[in-house]
Structure 1
Amino acid sequence: MSRDALKMVTIGGGSSYTPELIEGYIKRKDQLPIKEIWLVDIPAGEEKLNIVGHMAKRMVKAAGLDWEVHLTLNRREALQDADFVSTQFRVGLMQARIKDERIPGSYGFLGQETNGAGGIFKAFRTVPVILDIVKDMKECCPDAWLINFTNPSGMITEAIQTYGKWDKVIGLCNVPVMAMMTEPALIGKQLKDLTYKFAGIDHFHWHRVFDNTGREVTMDIVAKMYEGDAGLPKNIFNVQFFREQLEQMKMIPCGYHRYYYREQEMLDHSLEEFKGEGTRAQQVMRIEKELFDLYKDPNLDYKPKQLAERGGAHYSDAACEAIASIYADKRTHMVVSTLNRGAVPDLPTDHVVEVSAQVGAAGAIPLTFGHFQPAERGWLQLMKNMELVIDEAAVTGDYGLALQAFTMNPMIRSGQKAKDLLDEMLVANKQHLPQFAKKIAELEAAGVHVHDAVAAHIDETI
């Protein structure tokens, strides 16, 4: 890539994360010759787009830059001749996330944004939309790179590759970024003195760490993790892993493994929130309201510190680094979702994994991790195959496949209750699930509906 007037497009431009994205571009102003930034949203997000878009313009002006910032609801206009496209949207907005958390909670199951029944339905809603975006890109900007940090990031990146047939894509997550930001100090080191090796799938990976003499320091970090802050994202309840388990695997699990390794404790906490202060989505809505009130201030021209409370801090900066690395062929070490290509031999080569990779002009070149031990291999193969089932169900609208995904998911107890949960969530999300329209009509005719207690919580947020 050699263009010297870059056009950057962000779909989901009205997101509360956009100021971090703009800050990331400004930090890299000497690396990226940006000419235009297009922030795209849908009519339901127009108010937020205008608020955050005008703040983006103030940030660019305060930095003394002449970049053009465009706000639009016309996706194809924005995508025309784009160089880089980033995606950070939520189909159904925050009300859909409340459904993902509160409906499973009403059945006594854990409701979470990217795990369990909630994560499955987030994928069901999102996959058709991302494939529409890819279709537009093929016509409007066939040479552009797509940087995805719409969750569930791994499953969405898989759908882009497998069903969208779009190879110029990288999926990102802030969880590995946070690990590499917080862990080195635990052992008195800086990141530049350490080598990190990550492997697995999004929100289900492990990593090992080596110092600059080649000595493995993974277990040194583990020992320190039991003395203080585990460096978790804001949205994960901190219950310690069983130390003996980590000592056996000799790796550091992703924070999201708590939903599987300490399922009972995480479920208990989730149900406590469900009955008390509200689910994470309801808490986030309060944080977002505060953020957008700040963003309205005509004097605010920098990213406010409150954004760190939002739970996805550092996503946007990672996206900017990936873009700069591709543009300038920097060959930076990053942890990304990309085609396996043998990096994790326990999974097929032609599916997406989350691994350490070298990111440059050729995209992400994954670094080989090697085989996992039986325990981790079994978990990983189950979870990856579940992802493949979810993506296929999202594309085809096959109810039997959706039921298979629910049955496979370790956070959903299989049986009639699981099927009832699936049916209620299908009806609750019918506006955003055209691929399941026929089945949803059957369910409604049979009397399936959203329970009043759940509906009341959703209605009060609208």
Structure 2
Amino acid sequence: MKITVVGGGSTYTPELIEGFARRAGVLPIDELVLHDIDTERLAVVGGLSRRILARHCFPGRLTTTTDLARAVDSAAAVLVQLRVGGQAARLVDETLPNRFGLLGQETTGPGGFAKALRTVPVVLGIADEVRRRARPGAWIVDFTNPVGIVTRALLDAGHRAVGLCNVAIKFQRQLADRLGTTPERVRLGHAGLNHLSWIRSVTVDGADRLPELLSGAALDELAAQVRVPAGVLRDLGAIPSYYLHYFYCTHEEIRAQQTGSHRAEQVLAIERELLSLYADPGLDRSPGLLEQRGGAYYSEAAAALVTSLLTGDGAHHYVNVRNDGVLSGLPDEAVVEVAADVDTAGPHAAAVPPLPPEMLGLVQAVTAYETLTVEAALSGDRGVARRALVAHPLVREWEVADAFLDALLTANSRHLPRFLASEAAHA
């Protein structure tokens, strides 16, 4: 069995490798392949990955390559975790919107839109190579943000794909610790879109423990964790994803960003230090600093999901899949983030109670934006791109969207050839 990681030079990779190494007894992997276009990063990350596997006495082999065709040839599963333009592009995504009075964030709002335009065509190109060369029925697991949009593009193109995010599993672990139990006993009523979701129940052995979490000191602690006022949780009767901070506290976040507070700058520094640590030939495990990089529990979620897809163990996961009636009020072709039991046939989504109006309205608006964003990314049509931005609740105004789009296309010109071709065709 061969499993391939596209974007294998990511600083996340060593933790992912540990996740697969721990599952060697249930997931018999003959070969793990790390693919990346950055040879220097691939060499550093690949070296640490080999030392990690040696420490675990992993029976398979690790291959590193810059050749995508070789990487995906005969693979049973391909994980995609790339960042088109690197951290430098992320910094632009987070800072450029501020010039227009908009919020800058790498996965949602106008920054997430820029990232989607760059990313969707690249991931679809990789997926086409998987279709040509991987094992029949191979799975694509997407961890590349914006996960919901990328997963929708993959599914629209007919690929066998599942989207994965670490938000739900992180909550599961944290809430289990708060409730004094193990994560396996905790089931979350987690539903919405990627980075736009709410937890509306927290069951332990069938009993809903959410009411006690939304009372007393626990309420204030949870509110601080997701960076919204406690009254938000109390009114909703739910725990919002921390990405909803950008919707519920928009002006507060814009003010902070306009003083120069951007996560991308911190991540750039962390990545440099991590790669320096990874290069140490004596290091054979993920360093503690990796926790500050973000993506906590990603390795656990990804390795467990691939195990379910390839062995059919039927385990419970939180994934991005076609709606197909799971969330009422959304089209079937939308991609939603929900709980699901997973086997070799794929995810089987759990039933979700209808979302209340204040949640459903926001989800419907962002779903419309995601639909238009996929179309814009594939067509290079400026008119569709403007419509996508106007549809997003964090943009809305046409004149702002028009001016921002001009700046976005200029800043990302080398990554958006479709828009250049479209403009030339209409010149």
Same fold (TM over 0.5): yes
1:241 counterpart = 2:229 = yes
> Which residue of 2 is the match for residue 457 of structure 1?
none
SS of residue in 1 equivalent to 2:30: strand
Instruction: Flag structure 2 segments of 5+ consecutive residues without an equivalent.
Output: none
- The 5 Å alignment of 1:68-83 reads 68-83=61-76
1:38 counterpart = 2:57 = no
CA shift in 2, pair 1:213/1:51, >3 Å: closer
2:365 pairs, out of 379, 382, 391, with: 382
1:261 counterpart = 2:248 = yes
Query: Aligned equivalents of 1:322 and 1:196: distance in 2?
Result: 17
Contact preservation (8 Å) 2:186, 2:205 = no
Q: How far does the alpha carbon of each residue in 1:93-152 deviate from its partner, in whole angstroms, 9 at most, with x for none?
A: 111111111111222321111011110011000000111111111110132111110000
1:26 counterpart = 2:21 = yes
- The 5 Å alignment of 1:416-455 reads 416-438=399-421
Contact preservation (8 Å) 2:172, 2:187 = no
Query: Aligned equivalents of 2:178 and 2:148: distance in 1?
Result: 29
CA deviation after TM superposition for structure 1 residue 225, in Å: 4.0
Q: How far does the alpha carbon of each residue in 1:318-369 deviate from its partner, in whole angstroms, 9 at most, with x for none?
A: 1100011122211111110011122112211232110000011111111110
> Which residue of 2 is the match for residue 99 of structure 1?
92
- The 5 Å alignment of 1:47-446 reads 47-141=40-134, 142-162=136-156, 164-166=157-159, 168-212=160-204, 214-223=206-215, 224-228=217-221, 232=225, 239-243=227-231, 245-274=232-261, 279-412=262-395, 414-438=397-421
My pick for the range that moved more, 406-415 or 299-308, is: 406-415
My pick for the range that moved more, 150-159 or 101-110, is: 101-110
Contact preservation (8 Å) 1:426, 1:440 = no
SS of residue in 2 equivalent to 1:228: helix
Query: Aligned equivalents of 1:384 and 1:262: distance in 2?
Result: 21
Contact preservation (8 Å) 1:430, 1:440 = no
Q: How far does the alpha carbon of each residue in 1:341-398 deviate from its partner, in whole angstroms, 9 at most, with x for none?
A: 2211221123211000001111111111021111111111001111111111111111
CA deviation after TM superposition for structure 1 residue 412, in Å: 2.0
My pick for the range that moved more, 424-433 or 369-378, is: 369-378
Query: Aligned equivalents of 2:279 and 2:67: distance in 1?
Result: 23
CA shift in 2, pair 1:36/1:352, >3 Å: same
SS of residue in 1 equivalent to 2:9: coil
Query: Aligned equivalents of 2:13 and 2:214: distance in 1?
Result: 34
Matched residue type, 1:169: A
Contact preservation (8 Å) 1:178, 1:231 = no
Query: Aligned equivalents of 1:225 and 1:386: distance in 2?
Result: 35
CA deviation after TM superposition for structure 1 residue 417, in Å: 3.1
Query: Aligned equivalents of 1:413 and 1:213: distance in 2?
Result: 44
Query: Structure 1 length normalisation: TM-score?
Result: 0.88
Contact preservation (8 Å) 1:219, 1:247 = no
CA deviation after TM superposition for structure 1 residue 216, in Å: 2.7
> Which residue of 2 is the match for residue 456 of structure 1?
none
Query: Aligned equivalents of 1:160 and 1:169: distance in 2?
Result: 7
SS of residue in 1 equivalent to 2:189: strand
> Which residue of 1 is the match for residue 7 of structure 2?
12
Query: Structure 2 length normalisation: TM-score?
Result: 0.95
Q: How far does the alpha carbon of each residue in 1:196-236 deviate from its partner, in whole angstroms, 9 at most, with x for none?
A: 2211110001122244464432232223443436585xxxx
SS of residue in 1 equivalent to 2:353: coil
Query: Aligned equivalents of 2:201 and 2:60: distance in 1?
Result: 40
Contact preservation (8 Å) 1:239, 1:265 = no
Matched residue type, 2:331: P
Report the count of equivalent residues. Answer: 425
Instruction: Flag structure 1 segments of 5+ consecutive residues without an equivalent.
Output: 1-5, 233-237, 446-462
Query: Aligned equivalents of 1:93 and 1:52: distance in 2?
Result: 16
